[in-house]
Amino acid sequence: QQQVKQSPQSLIVQKGGISIINCAYENTAFDYFPWYQQFPGKGPALLIAIRPDVSEKKEGRFTISFNKSAKQFSLHIMDSQPGDSATYFCAASTSGTYKYIFGTGTRLKVLA
């Protein structure tokens, strides 16, 4: 049962462009939405996270946009760089459950 749907599966962007990855969820009890970045041969690492009381969070070139009514959130990578080439996972969890449900991942390639 996939509770977090992520798209696209893969993405190719030119250097300097904007990368956009989208996620949708069904469970309205989710109240924490992190994004993880994974390089080949490594474990995922937390990139940025948001709670539903804000509509946007920005950290450097990375921004999460959150639409509570649509039950969707997205990751925007501004000025994408070849070093951003990695697999990105969205996730969701509910306070008190300590379970984290992940999306299926997006493989991003940024062309030099």
Partner 1 sequence: DAGITQSPRHKVTETGTPVTLRCHQTENHRYMYWYRQDPGHGLRLIHYSYGVKDTDKGEVSDGYSVSRSKTEDFLLTLESATSSQTSVYFCAIRTSGGNGELFFGEGSRLTVL
Which residue in 14, 16, 104, 111 binds partner 1 (CB under 8 A)? 104
Q: Does 75 bind partner 1 (CB under 8 A)?
A: no
- Token pair for 81: 């760089």
Query: Is 29:94 a contact under the CB 8 Å cutoff?
Result: yes
Residues 6 or more apart from 26 whose CB is under 8 A from it?
3, 71
Q: Which two tokens stand for residue 52?
A: 């539903």
CB of 44 to partner 1, least distance (A): 5
Binding mask 21-60 for partner 1 (x = CB under 8 A): -----------x-x-x----xxxxxx--x-x---------
Q: Please identify, among the stretches 11-19, 52-60, 65-73, 100-108, the one whose residues bind partner 1 according to the rule CB under 8 A.
A: 100-108
Element (H, E) at 22: strand 19-25
DSSP conformation class of 97: T
Residues that bind partner 1 (CB under 8 A): 1, 6, 9, 32, 34, 36, 41-46, 49, 51, 89, 91, 93, 95, 98-105
